[in-house]
Amino acid sequence: MSSLILDTLRFLDLDRSRETTQGKVNRAERLVRAILYAGFIAVLVVEISLLIQALGIIG
């Protein structure tokens, strides 16, 4: 009976480490996405600024 309990505890520990690893992957993926989105928004702002300046020169 005690070996069954120990095996169950080991199994639960393995699940927990897998969830932790998956959580780290998800966190890293979210961080990369946030950086990419921030870069996209920065490029968009620069492009709009350059467009406004070009229209100001023409007009």
d(CA 13, CA 3) in angstroms, rounded, equals: 15
d(CA 7, CA 58) in angstroms, rounded, equals: 76
d(CA 37, CA 28) in angstroms, rounded, equals: 14
- Residue 10: predicted pLDDT: 62
Confidence of residue 23 (pLDDT cuts 50, 70, 90): confident
What is the pTM assigned to this prediction?
A: 0.56
- Residue 45: predicted pLDDT: 97
With 90 as the cut, is the pLDDT of residue 16 above it?
Answer: no
d(CA 30, CA 13) in angstroms, rounded, equals: 26
d(CA 56, CA 39) in angstroms, rounded, equals: 26
Distance of CA 8 to the CA centre of its chain: 33
